[in-house]
Amino acid sequence: MVRLGPFARYLLMRAAFLLATYITAITIVFLLPRLIPGNPLALLLTQLYQQAQANPEAIKEVYRTLMEEFGVGKPLWEQYVDFLSRAFRGDLGTSIAFYPRKVIELIAPAIPWTVGLLVPSTITAWIIGNTLGAIAGYRRGSYFEKTVLTASLILSQTPYYWLAMLLVYIFAIKLNLFPAGGGYSYGLVPSLTPEFIADLLWHYTLPFLSIVLVAVGGWAIGMRVLVIYELGADYMVFSENLGVEERKLFRYAFRNSLLPQVTGLALSLGSVLGGQLITEIVFNYPGTGYILFRGLSTLDYPLIQGVFIILVATLFLANFIVDFIYALIDPRIRLGYAQA
Amino acid sequence: MAVPTIVWVLLTNRRFVVGIALFLAVVLTGVIGPLLYPVDPLSFAGPMETPPCEKYPLGTDTYGRDVLAQLLVGTRTSLYVGFLTALIAMAIGTVIGAAAGVKGGLVDEALMAITNVTLSIPSILLAILIASYLKVRSLEVVAAILGITSWPWYARAIRAQLLSLREREFIYLSRMAGYSDLRLAFEDLLPNIATYIFMAMVLFINGGILGEAGLSIIGLGPTQGVSLGLMLQWATLMEAFRRGLWWWFVPPGVMIVAATSSLMIVSTAMDEVFNPRLRERG
């Protein structure tokens, strides 16, 4: 057997875990409609079937496709194997509301919008929040600490989407500084021209702010506590008594507190994404949240399931990248100190 | 008893007092408010989209309904969903976390595998998926959906706390005395982490209030009644914030933030008081 270094082994373990979780997520998507009494998908099929009686070939076509994709008449395990293998090939079924378009075709163009909003805003919030939190923790009892803590406590508990509404009302409607929604101006064609990019950023500002403001609060609260803990550690007290300069002490505390915050990134991406989906609806932003909303309002289950699977997959990919970074910066993993 | 001293210490903490006062104000608004202002929140009787005036202190919405009446009943509903969510999530989390922490071994590994997998799937996404399949959603159903999707981090935290306690002497003594695992969990272990449990409860109540609002806005909230989330949904549907109807969408949001952030302030203040590692070095 090939012996792997600690770094590779760690990453392999993480990849295996994420893959197992991904399969679980797909299994949940498969089981839910089949477990809930009155099988909602079957109900939908019946409805479509009744319409088909009165009416044209088109609906019969939709019905046939759905029947086949759901696997009506096949044993459960066969349905499951079918479902799983299709999900891994990226075939998430056919949309009902947008028949005959495939679900993946509808979601794919929305993904860059969602990721383009999620990742930069999360990273920005992470940097600002951790910096503010660290300074607050270091300057215990100062006016600065009190302000940062109170503001963070309130901001971190504010729903993204409500903040989004407030921002639209104040900055778009009252002050007319930013557009009230959408990803870019009506009539423009997406391209790499300076004009389009400027327009894109102009539309980007408010959704971006609504996420950053809330997320900064959470990071600042966590970082403040971590730095206070770190400052109380023995090595800190020791260094302080040795007369190590203050700037250096702060750097020690900051660096050591940052590590758990990197782990936190992976978890927070998920919760930020959840809030962001709703924010996209408030802004009519052309991301996956908007697609999900379209799916929900027409009870287009294949589309709803598709959005769920794609988002979980995207998130796990992001998680793996975070794991990779973590492994790079944590010497315990890099050098194999961690438990065997 | 040490209780009076603890109460005294808390009451001299300004942050705690401000937080608890604000939270009590929100609770009173929800509990007594509807009694003092007995207007049907769903009656279409009023004029359309009227700004606040003498007859309608917070104006009316597009359907001519009284916004203040909605806000009062909605606060009550949202608090109820929040508490119920916390109850459900903590029941599941405590059982799983305690079983894993006390039993150890294979039980521990199996339970933690389930927990870690569930933890990795964002709870709100899972809640959306489940809710989309249910045609009728009562308040209890919404709380149940939010509860069963949000327990994993808590189960893990409870287990970690218990594991660190397990090696302590008083636990060995109880084991030697032949106490059952159940008695051990409830008499020796859980009381030791009571403050921790309280702080977790705050997070779950907030999660329930915010989760209800989130589900409602995308049309997956309670299928009848009034809640702060449903108010925001109607306001979104009618584009209240694009049409300048501030009295419609601002109050429910302010109420949500008041409820959730006041609880956070209380919990932070308690942490400062009880957590020795956070006490200021003087």
Mark B182-207 as b/e (b = at least 16 C-beta within 10 Å). Answer: eebbeebbbeebeebbebbbbbbbbb
Interface probe with B: pick from A43, A169, A268, most Cβ of B within 10 Å? A169
Contact check, Cβ <8 Å, A165/B213: no
Measured between beta carbons, which residues in chain A are less than 8 angstroms from residue B257? 154, 157-159, 162
Please tell me the distance in Å from A57's CA to the nearest CA on chain B: 28
Please tell me the distance in Å from A338's CA to the nearest CA on chain B: 18
Q: A31: nearest CA in chain B?
A: B130
- Give me the residues of A, 271-330, that contact B with CB < 8 A: 271, 273-275, 277-278, 281-282, 292-293, 296-297, 299, 301, 304-305, 308, 311-312, 315-316, 319
C-alpha angle A273/A276/A281, rounded to 5°? Answer: 135
Contact check, Cβ <8 Å, B218/A173: no
Whether B237 and chain A come into contact, CB under 8 Å, resolves to no
Q: What is the mean pLDDT of each run of 10 residues along chain A (340 residues)?
A: 72 87 87 74 67 63 71 77 83 79 88 91 94 91 91 92 92 87 77 83 91 93 90 85 85 85 83 88 89 86 89 87 82 60
Look at residue A40 in the predicted model and tell me its pLDDT.
Answer: 65
Reported as a single tens digit per residue, the pLDDT across B197-256 is: 888 999 999 999 999 999 999 889 998 889 999 999 999 988 888 888 899 999 999 999
Q: Rounded to whole angstroms, how far apart are CA atoms A271 and A266?
A: 10
Look at residue A134 in the predicted model and tell me its pLDDT.
Answer: 92
Contact check, Cβ <8 Å, A297/B260: no
Q: Rounded to whole angstroms, how far apart are CA atoms A135 and A148?
A: 9
Task: Report the predicted TM-score, pTM, of the whole model to 2 decimal places.
Answer: 0.88
Weakest-pLDDT range from A72-76, A304-308, B68-72, B129-133: A72-76
* Inter-residue contact A212 to A128 (CB < 8 Å): yes
Whether B228 and chain A come into contact, CB under 8 Å, resolves to no
pLDDT for B188 beyond 80: no
Measured between beta carbons, which residues in chain B are less than 8 angstroms from residue A141? 280
ipTM associated with this complex:
0.86
Contact check, Cβ <8 Å, B210/A157: yes
Q: What is the DSSP string of chain B?
A: --HHHHHHHHHT-HHHHHHHHHHHHHHHHHHTHHHHS---TT---SPTTPPS-SSSTT-B-TT--BHHHHHHHHHHHHHHHHHHHHHHHHHHHHHHHHHHHHH-HHHHHHHHHHHHHHHHS-HHHHHHHHHHH-S---HHHHHHHHHHHH-HHHHHHHHHHHHHHHTSHHHHHHHHTT--HHHIIIIIIGGGGHHHHHHHHHHHHHHHHHHHHHHHHTT-S-SSS--HHHHHHHHHHTTTTTTT-HHHHHHHHHHHHHHHHHHHHHHHHHHHHH-GGGSPP-
User: Which residue among B120, B129, B265 sits closest to A304, beta carbon to beta carbon?
Assistant: B129
Q: What is the DSSP string of A79-140?
A: HHHHHHHHHHTT---B-STTTTSBHHHHHGGGHHHHHHHHHHHHHHHHHHHHHHHHHHHHTT
3-state secondary structure of A55: coil
- Give me the residues of B, 78-117, that contact A with CB < 8 A: 116-117
C-alpha closest to that of B26 among B204, B230, B254: B254
Q: Out of 1.25.40.10, 2.60.40.10, 1.10.3720.10, 3.40.50.300, which CATH number does the structure's domain B38-281 have? A: 1.10.3720.10
Measured between beta carbons, which residues in chain A are less than 8 angstroms from residue B280? 140-141
Query: Euclidean distance between the first and final Cα of chain B, in Å?
Result: 27
Interface probe with A: pick from B261, B265, B267, B271, most Cβ of A within 10 Å? B261
Query: What is residue A168's DSSP assignment?
Result: I
Look at residue A179 in the predicted model and tell me its pLDDT.
Answer: 86
Weakest-pLDDT range from A258-267, B23-32, B263-272: A258-267
Give percent above pLDDT 70 in chain B.
97
Look at residue A45 in the predicted model and tell me its pLDDT.
Answer: 67
* Inter-residue contact B154 to B197 (CB < 8 Å): no
Take residue B182 and report the two structure tokens written for it: 């159940």
Sequence letter at residue A74 = K
Which backbone phi and psi does A244 adopt, to 5 degrees?
-65, 140
Take residue B208 and report the two structure tokens written for it: 């329930």
Instruction: List B66's β-bridge partners, or say none.
Output: B60
Take residue B5 and report the two structure tokens written for it: 């001293």
pLDDT for B20 beyond 80: yes
pLDDT for B282 beyond 60: no
Measured between beta carbons, which residues in chain B are less than 8 angstroms from residue A225? 271, 278
